[in-house]
Chains A and B, each alone.
Chain A
Amino acid sequence: MENSGKRIVFKSLIVVIFVLYWIRLINLQLGEKDYESIAINNALNKITLYPSRSNLFDRHGKLIVYNTHIYDLSVFPFEIKELDTALLSKILELPGADLLHLLEDAKVKAVRRQKNNANNKSTTFYSNLSARQFAFLRENMFRLKGFFIESRTDRQFASKSAPHALGYLGEANETLLESDEYYQPGDLVGITGLERFYEKEFRGIKGIKTVWQNRKYEQKGEVKDSQFNYPSVAGPDATSTLDIEVQNYARQLLEGKKGSIVAIEPRTGEIIAFVNYPDYDPNTLVGRSRANTFKSLLTDPVKPLYNRAVKGVYPPGSTFKTVMAAIALQEGVLEPETTHGCGGGYRLGNIRVGCHPHGGPLDVRGSLQISCNSYYCQVFRDVIDNPKYANVKEGYAVLERHLRSFGLGSPLGIDLMGESRGNIPSVNQLNKRHGKSWKSSTVISLSIGQGEILLTPLQIANLAAIMANRGWYITPHLIRTIDGITDTAWQRKFKFKHYTSVNPMHFETVIEGMAGVTLPGGTANGTGIPGLEICAKTGTAQNPHGKDHSVYMAFAPKENPQIAIAVIVENGGYGATYAAPIANLLIEKYLNPGKETQKPDMEKRMLESKIQ
Chain B
Amino acid sequence: MNSYNNQRQESVDFLSVFLFIILIVLGFMAISSSTSDINWDHFQLSALATKQIFFLAGAFVIVLTILFSNVAVIDYFAYGFYGIALLLNILVVIIGHEVKGAKSWFGIGGFGLQPSEFAKVATALALAKFLGTYGVRFKGWKNIGISLAIFLIPLVVILMQDDTGSALVFLSFFLVLYREGLPGWVLLSALWMGLLSGFRVIGDFQGVSIYYGYGFLFGIASIVILFFRKNKAVIPLIITIAIASAAFYTVVGSAYHTILQRHQKSRIESVLGLKEDAQGIDFHVKQSKIAIGAGKLWGRGFMKGTQTKMGFVPEQHTDFIFDTLAEEWGFIGTTLFFILYVAFLLRLATLSERQTTIFGRVLGYSLVCILFFHFTINIGMTIGLMPVIGIPLPYISYGGSSLWAFTLFLFIFLRVDQVRK
Contact = CB atoms under 8 A, between A and B. Distances in A.
B307 A42 contact: yes
25 contacts: A3-B179, A6-B179, A7-B349, A7-B353, A10-B349, A15-B346, A20-B385, A25-B334, A26-B331, A29-B293, A29-B297, A29-B330, A35-B296, A36-B293, A36-B300, A38-B293, A39-B312, A42-B310, A213-B310, A214-B309, A215-B310, A216-B311, A220-B37, A220-B38, A220-B310
B310 A43 contact: yes
B372 A14 contact: yes
A39 B338 CA distance: 23
Contacts of A21: 338, 379-380, 383, 385
A41 to B, nearest CB: 10
A21 B331 CA distance: 12
B349 A36 contact: no
Given A42-B287, A214-B311, 6 more contacts: A10-B179, A35-B289, A36-B296, A38-B294, A42-B312, A215-B310
Contacts of B37: 220-221
B295 A29 contact: yes
A11 interface: yes
B321 interface: no
A389 interface: no
Interface string A9-28: 11101110110111011101
A30 B295 CA distance: 9
Contacts of A36: 293-294, 296, 300
B9 interface: no
A327 B295 CA distance: 80
B202 interface: no
A296 to B, nearest CB: 41
A40 interface: yes
B345 A14 contact: yes
A304 to B, nearest CB: 48
B338 A221 contact: no
Interface string B77-110: 0000000000000000000000000000000000
Main secondary structure of the interface of A (DSSP, over half): helix
A11 B385 CA distance: 21
Contacts of A40: 294, 306
A33 interface: yes
Contacts, number: 124
Interface string B296-334: 110010000011011110000000000000110011001
A11 B348 CA distance: 10
A604 interface: no
Given A18-B342, A39-B327, A28 B372 contact: no
Given A22-B338, A111-B278, A220-B39, A28 B349 contact: no
B72 interface: no
B356 interface: no
A564 to B, nearest CB: 65
B205 interface: no
* B293, B296, B327 pick with most chain A CB within 10 angstroms: B293
Contacts of A134: none
Interface in A32-52: 33, 35-36, 38-40, 42-43
Interface of B: 37-39, 175, 178-179, 278-279, 287, 289-297, 300, 306-307, 309-312, 326-327, 330-331, 334-335, 338, 341-342, 345-346, 349, 353, 365, 368, 372, 375-376, 379-380, 383, 385
Contacts of B338: 18, 21-22, 25
A565 B39 CA distance: 66
B346 to A, nearest CB: 6
A461 to B, nearest CB: 61
A327 B126 CA distance: 120
A249 interface: no
Contacts of A26: 331
Given A14-B346, A15-B342, A220-B38, A25 B297 contact: no
B352 to A, nearest CB: 8
Contact of B310 (A9, A24, A28, A212): A212
B368 to A, nearest CB: 7
Nearest to B293: A35
A78 interface: yes
Contact of B290 (A11, A35, A215, A220): A35
B368 A29 contact: no
A545 interface: no
A25 B296 contact: no
Interface residues of A, number: 40
Nearest to B38: A212
Contacts of B368: 10
Contacts of A25: 292, 326, 331, 334-335, 338, 383
A375 B291 CA distance: 90
A540 B345 CA distance: 105
Given A18-B338, A39-B307, A212 B289 contact: no
A518 B338 CA distance: 101
B39 A214 contact: no
Nearest to B385: A24
* A10, A33, A111 pick with most chain B CB within 10 angstroms: A10
Contacts of A24: 383, 385
Contact of A42 (B279, B290, B380): B290
Contacts of A14: 342, 345-346, 349, 372
A224 interface: yes
A31 interface: yes
B278 to A, nearest CB: 7
B260 to A, nearest CB: 25
A20 B338 CA distance: 11
A224 B342 contact: no
Given A29-B295, A35-B293, A43-B312, A11 B300 contact: no
Contact of A30 (B39, B175, B296): B296
Contact of A28 (B289, B307, B311, B335): B289
A11 B338 CA distance: 15
A35 B290 CA distance: 5
Contacts of B278: 111, 114
Contacts of B38: 43, 212, 220-221
A28 B307 CA distance: 15
Contacts of B376: 17
Contacts of B341: 18
- Give the 4 A-B residue pairs with the shortest CB-CB distance, closest first: A35-B293, A43-B306, A215-B311, A39-B294
Contacts of B310: 42-43, 212-215, 220
Contact of A22 (B179, B309, B335): B335
B389 to A, nearest CB: 16
B137 to A, nearest CB: 13
B348 to A, nearest CB: 10
A30 B331 contact: yes
A188 B295 CA distance: 40
Given A18-B338, A25-B383, A39-B291, A6 B297 contact: no
Contacts of B296: 29-30, 35-36
Contacts of B289: 28, 35
Given A14-B342, A30-B296, A111-B278, A38 B385 contact: no
A3 to B, nearest CB: 8
A33 B293 contact: yes
Nearest to B350: A11
A387 to B, nearest CB: 86
Contacts of A20: 385
A212 B306 contact: yes
Contacts of A216: 311
A4 to B, nearest CB: 9
Nearest to A7: B353
Interface in A187-231: 212-216, 220-221, 224
Contacts of A29: 292-293, 295-297, 326, 330-331, 334
Nearest to A111: B278
Nearest to A37: B294
* A15, A25, A29 pick with most chain B CB within 10 angstroms: A29
A39 B342 contact: no
